[in-house]
């Protein structure tokens, strides 16, 4: 389920960027140290070149940092906005209802398929 995301765990993060940060120094050939805000003090400030974007041209891709509340354990909450589509997946012994869910701060193109029973348990 996708309701809690962690910065320090492996996995695909959202294809969005928080905001442009100033590069303090180059650490080796492929890493840069960034000047992060005080609210992101728990996030490691050295990033690989592949994780950085040269310039942020599209303002819709930028998450307002005031809306993003990062907890002390480096997690933040996501919640579903609407269900775009409902489908049934048939396995050998059962039928699983799946929902295509649009999450907050994401567009309809970035919606994910979640199990209906998991959504009902977590979000009444």
- Count of C-beta atoms within a 10 Å radius of residue 80: 19
pLDDT for residue 69 is more than 60? yes
- Give 109: exposed, middle or buried? Use CB within 10 Å, 0-12, 13-18, 19+: exposed
Give, as one character, the DSSP assignment of residue 94. Answer: -
**Least confident residue range of 4-8, 14-18, 81-85, 87-91:** 4-8
Name residue 118's beta-bridge partners.
Answer: none
**Which pTM value belongs to this model?**
0.48
* More confidently predicted of 74 and 58: 74
pLDDT interval class at 50 (50, 70, 90): confident
């Amino acid at each position: 389920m996708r309701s809690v995301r962690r910065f320090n765990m492996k996995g695909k993060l959202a294809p969005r960027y928080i905001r442009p940060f100033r590069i303090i120094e180059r650490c080796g050939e492929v890493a840069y140290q960034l000047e992060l805000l005080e609210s992101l003090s728990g996030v490691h400030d050295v990033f690989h070149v592949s994780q950085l974007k040269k310039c942020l041209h599209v303002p819709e891709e930028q998450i307002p940092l005031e809306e993003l509340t990062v907890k002390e354990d480096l997690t933040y909450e996501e919640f579903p906005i609407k269900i775009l589509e409902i489908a049934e997946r048939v396995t050998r012994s059962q039928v699983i209802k799946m929902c295509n869910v649009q999450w907050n701060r994401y567009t309809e193109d970035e919606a994910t398929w979640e199990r209906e029973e998991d959504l009902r348990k977590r979000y009444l």
